[in-house]
Amino acid sequence: MIKVEFLGPIGKAPVEMEAKTLADVSAKLKEDETIAPWLSKCAVAVNDTMVKELDFVLKSGDRVSILPPVCGG
């Protein structure tokens, strides 16, 4: 089981799911109509490290963060 958390303005509570890779996470999040529109513009971190590979392998207890567009300053 992994945990997915949605940062900043997405405003959704964390969810837990079974996923072997980020591709599995993608497939499950696309089924959620409140989250699907965000996916094209969000970056992803696993355990607080930015990840850019969809085949990134997840292990039980991993925490996936979904980071929407930013504007500091």
Partner 1 sequence: MELYNGPLDVKEIFGRWLDEEAESNYGAYIPFVGTIRAEGGIEALSFDIYEPVLKSWFDGWQRKAEARGAIVKMAHSIGDVPVHTSSYISAVFSPKRRVALELIDEFVEDFKANAPIWKYDVIGGSRIYAEDRSTPMDGAGLLK
Task: Say whether residue 70 binds partner 1 (CB under 8 A).
Answer: yes
Residue 33 CB, nearest distance to partner 1 (Å)? Answer: 14
What is the footprint of partner 1 within residues 28-67 (CB under 8 A)?
Answer: 29-30, 39-45, 48-54, 65-67
Q: Looking at beta carbons only, is 2 or 66 nearer to partner 1?
A: 66
Listing DSSP states for 17-55 in one string gives E--SBHHHHHHHHHT-TTTGGGGGG-EEEETTEEE--TT
Q: In Å, what is the CA distance from 34 to each residue of 11, 20, 40? A: 10, 23, 13
Interface residues toward partner 1, by CB under 8 A: 7-9, 22, 25-26, 29-30, 39-45, 48-54, 65-73
